[in-house]
Chain A
Amino acid sequence: MTPVRILPAMLLCLLPVCVLAETAEEKALAIAVEADNRDSGFVDYTNDTQMILRNKQGQESTRLIRSKTLEVDGDGDKSLTIFDEPNDVKGTALLSFTHKEGPDDQWLYLPALKRVKRIASDNKSGPFMGSEFAYEDITSQEVEKYTYRYLRDDSFDGMDVFVFERYPIDEKSGYTRQIIWMDKEHYKERKIEYYDRKDTLLKTLLFTDYHQYQDRFWRAHVMYMENHQTGKSTRLLQSDFKYGTGLIERDFDKNSLKRAR
């Protein structure tokens, strides 16, 4: 988000040694920063999400959610997520403040009790609504939450891609590392492999059906997460992206959480 982060790398490049000295770490960080820059400045958006959970036996269950997201200068995004299905959680709402540094803040609103519950920030590795997506997979992916290492250039699905690893800084993360396949044209993720704490391949996420909004921002309409250890999978379908909807901070406070329907 902030150009400040890239400054040390740029300053370094003013020195003559730079030419031959960009390390794998610096190269991957520069890619992550560029991807973040290309995706910043959206201000706000809303969208609908359908999640189709599938277990090993092939039984399916559907979740419907609506989300509002607000970009915050100098910090992580704020988001408000309202659950529409299953019916027993209808009206339940989740308010998240992501932070570049330190744990995120999360509050859950339970409409039957009219109660706002603070959620322990350590549960980031837990499943989101019983799906194969962990909280940390779906919250705002801030550059500062990882360190990086470049692996190689490759091709994926006919596209030229960067392949790099990132390592979560938070020790409460469920992962030791993730391998990212990112296309060189738009700097968007095409595939992520997640490795668990024992460094065994846990999940693979595929991004397809990208659409461009505001002539700038690319959003994957289909995300498919497969858990290799349990045989379960989740297909996440995103639709109805609307940008520049005029959301303000006030739409992301605890009063707005209680008003979510």
Chain B
Amino acid sequence: MKTLLIAVIGLLPLANSQAGEWRGYVELEGTAFFEDPAFPEQSNSDLSIAAEPEYLQEWNDGDDIFTFKAFGRIDQRDNNRTHGDLRELSWIHAADDWEVLAGVGKVFWGVTEAVHLVDIINQTDLVESFDGEEKLGQPMIDLSLIRDWGVVDLFVLPWFRERTFPSEDGRPRFAIPIDTDDPLYESSAEQHHVDFAARWSNSIDEWDIGLSYFYGTSREPRFVILPSAIDPVAGTVSETNPLYEIINQASIDLQAIYGSWLWKLEAYTRGGQGDRFSAAAGGFEYTFVGVRESAIDVGVIAEYLYDGRDDEIGSTTIAAGTPFSTSPFQNDLVLGTRITLNDMQSTELLVVGIIDLEGNGQTFSMEASRRIGNDWIVALEGNAFSNVPENTSLVSFRKDSNIRLMLTRYF
């Protein structure tokens, strides 16, 4: 890890380099909850400030790029959310038919809207957002081979990043507090286990296709309740520990475009966390362009979510020492709309509902944003949980419907 960073910095150009550039944002965030909290440590509101500065330098006509991107947040309530992360510290070199990225970087795979099943290279920064879209920086070497028949990416991932989880003061959080200080690993190498991934991707006419394979430490942990965490007299559980197992995962992501239709599919099969299982998400986004002779686009999103695992966190039958998973979307329907005004202020609205087809509740999310002047973005987000029964992982969040206002200054 250290040698990797020294190597990256050593490759920085010296006298003949083009001038570097700083960019990034500072963000003020306020959250309000509609109901009193489910757990006594939680509060009805939260204030937070975050910043993400980035430094870029190119040389050799852009064939070499150095990137540094840091993130930091101070949160009024949640100590775990007050955190910093090195998002990127990388050197990219591009040649005629290959490219290499060395250092800390971020990679995204996938096509669907509601979940990101096949996206596995970077760990989720869960304290940042509960939809799992924020990621921690991942140390890596990514070699891309660019051929007529597609792009092959080979990854070596020499250091594992633990998932972030809200503290007991955080909201929303899981009902059983998660002991992030003492994670459990299947491999005795723990965070030093070297993970590998390979991916082939190509665009063929209307199709974008990706086939990927991952072998290494699961980014998504299972959980274990240690005997010491159980109070046999009161019958209560004080905490649970994340368990990071060695998995092998093969996945496909597929997208086809036909006129206003975008058809999407993501699926994987995973071994190493108990019985082999699979998960899939598929559906479409249809866009009505320029509705009623205006500049406004209205997209309709429909996706189906499948997960072969049981949702065990709410189960009362968890035995001490037996790993369990938290996967709320076994058999769910996603319905949503994306409204883009295409105006000077880039006003956008996205509303998504996830409906459990087995009657285990609904979750709704809303994201709206608009530019103010040239450098500010104001955004409003809302999350609502309704009709959540006791025996699912979503039950922890049943009182956590909230609205969040963000004011961001870009530079």
Out of B106, B290, B345, name the residue touching A114 (CB < 8 Å).
B106
Out of B201, B261, B293, B375, name the residue touching A87 (CB < 8 Å).
B375
Chain B 52-77 interface 0/1 with A at a Cβ cutoff of 8 Å (1 = within) = 00001010001001000000000000
B-side contacts of A254, CB under 8 Å: 151, 201, 203
Interface residues of B (CB under 8 A from A): 23, 25, 56, 58, 62, 65, 92, 94, 96-97, 99, 106-108, 110, 133, 144, 146, 151, 201, 203, 208, 255, 257, 259-262, 287, 289-290, 293, 295, 297, 342-346, 371, 374-375, 377, 408, 410-411
A172 lies within 8 A of B259 (CB): yes
Chain A 109-140 interface 0/1 with B at a Cβ cutoff of 8 Å (1 = within) = 00001110010111101110010000000000
A-side contacts of B371, CB under 8 Å: 86, 88
Closest A residue to B208 by CB, please name it. A118
B-side contacts of A85, CB under 8 Å: 374
Q: A61-B344, A255-B94, A259-B62 are in contact. Are A90 and B146 (CB under 8 A)?
A: no
Out of A62, A115, A126, A255, name the residue touching B289 (CB < 8 Å).
A126
Closest A residue to B202 by CB, please name it. A254
Whether A53 is near chain B, meaning CB under 8 Å from some CB there, is yes
Interface residues of A (CB under 8 A from B): 53, 55, 59, 61-62, 85-91, 103, 105, 113-115, 118, 120-123, 125-127, 130, 172, 174, 196-198, 250, 253-256, 259, 261
Q: A88-B377, A261-B56, A261-B65 are in contact. Are A123 and B297 (CB under 8 A)?
A: yes
A130 lies within 8 A of B346 (CB): yes
B259 lies within 8 A of A87 (CB): no
Out of A55, A61, A114, A250, name the residue touching B374 (CB < 8 Å).
A61
Give the shortest distance, in Å, between B66 (CB) and chain A (any CB). 10
A-B contact pairs, 27 of them (CB 8 A): A59-B344, A61-B374, A62-B374, A86-B371, A86-B374, A86-B375, A87-B374, A87-B410, A88-B377, A91-B23, A113-B108, A114-B108, A115-B110, A120-B262, A122-B259, A122-B287, A123-B289, A130-B345, A172-B289, A174-B290, A198-B293, A250-B96, A250-B97, A255-B94, A255-B99, A255-B144, A259-B99
Closest B residue to A124 by CB, please name it. B289
B-side contacts of A261, CB under 8 Å: 56, 58, 62, 65
Out of A103, A122, A127, name the residue touching B295 (CB < 8 Å).
A127
A-side contacts of B257, CB under 8 Å: 118, 120-121
A-side contacts of B99, CB under 8 Å: 255, 259
Q: Which 8 A-B pairs have the closest CB atoms?
A: A87-B410, A114-B108, A122-B260, A88-B410, A127-B342, A130-B344, A115-B108, A61-B344
Out of A115, A118, A126, A198, name the residue touching B262 (CB < 8 Å).
A118
Best-buried of A62, A91, A121, A255 by chain B (most CB within 10 Å): A255
- Distance A123 CA – B97 CA, assembled complex (angstroms): 32
A-side contacts of B25, CB under 8 Å: 87-88
A125 lies within 8 A of B290 (CB): yes
A-side contacts of B110, CB under 8 Å: 115
For the complex with contacts A174-B290, A254-B151, A254-B201, 13 further pairs of A-B residues with Cβ separation under 8 Å are A53-B344, A62-B374, A85-B374, A88-B377, A113-B133, A120-B259, A121-B259, A122-B259, A126-B297, A127-B342, A130-B343, A255-B94, A255-B151
- Distance A89 CA – B375 CA, assembled complex (angstroms): 10
A259 lies within 8 A of B295 (CB): no
A250 lies within 8 A of B287 (CB): no
- Distance A174 CA – B344 CA, assembled complex (angstroms): 19
Best-buried of A62, A87, A103, A113 by chain B (most CB within 10 Å): A87
Give the shortest distance, in Å, between B407 (CB) and chain A (any CB). 12
- Distance A89 CA – B107 CA, assembled complex (angstroms): 19
B374 lies within 8 A of A90 (CB): no
B287 lies within 8 A of A103 (CB): no
Q: A61-B344, A113-B108, A172-B289 are in contact. Are A250 and B259 (CB under 8 A)?
A: no
B-side contacts of A115, CB under 8 Å: 108, 110
A-side contacts of B94, CB under 8 Å: 255-256, 259
- Distance A53 CA – B371 CA, assembled complex (angstroms): 14
- Distance A250 CA – B295 CA, assembled complex (angstroms): 34
A55 lies within 8 A of B146 (CB): no
Q: A130-B342, A130-B344 are in contact. Are A114 and B107 (CB under 8 A)?
A: yes
Give the shortest distance, in Å, between A172 (CB) and chain B (any CB). 7
Give the shortest distance, in Å, between B305 (CB) and chain A (any CB). 19
- Distance A198 CA – B92 CA, assembled complex (angstroms): 51
Closest A residue to B107 by CB, please name it. A114
A-side contacts of B65, CB under 8 Å: 259, 261
A-side contacts of B97, CB under 8 Å: 250
